[in-house]
Amino acid sequence: MEASQKAQRHMIKLAAVVGTLFALLSPVHAESWSCTYAGFGTGGDVTVAFAIKGNKIESGRFGVPVYDILENNEHALIGVDHYSKFDTVKGTVRVYAATVIIEKQFGRFMYSITEIGSQPGQRTGQCSKNL
């Protein structure tokens, strides 16, 4: 086999390896949603982006709050943000949970906030999947 054929085979193999590595290392497009609901005390609608990152849902422009994914399948995305901490400003323990539910087929949305010692809040709205 002559040198030019060997070089050509080598280049083909190299191109295949580089292409495979590029495909494996390229970032996967994460699932994300934009959801609109009547804001709490804002007097208007609020639109929030939710992006799935591993087993978390990041929300808002700065990626907070972060929700733990409880369910993510073809039917729904369900996440919860939660804490139980001593609040030094209030001098008491705060126990809190917020849930985000996105029904994927029709884009229905539910957001609820509960905190011990406060009235729970709930909002419904509409979501669209970002492409």
DSSP string of 46-94, one letter each residue: EEEEEEEETTEEEETTTT-SEEEEEEESSSEEEEEEEEEEEETTTTEEE
Question: Which secondary-structure segment (H or E) carries 19?
Answer: helix 3-25
Q: What is the CA radius of gyration of the chain?
A: 23
109 burial class (0-12, 13-18, 19+ CB within 10 angstroms)?
A: buried
Question: What's this model's pTM, rounded to 2 decimal places?
Answer: 0.73
Task: For residues 51-72, give the mean pLDDT.
Answer: 93
Three-class secondary structure of residue 35 per DSSP: strand
| Other beta carbons within 10 Å of 25 | 7
Range with the lowest mean pLDDT among 20-29, 49-58, 74-83, 112-121?
Answer: 20-29
**Does the pLDDT of residue 125 top 60, yes or no?**
yes
Task: Report pLDDT for 72.
Answer: 97
**Does the pLDDT of residue 22 top 50, yes or no?**
no
CA distance 102 to 125: 9
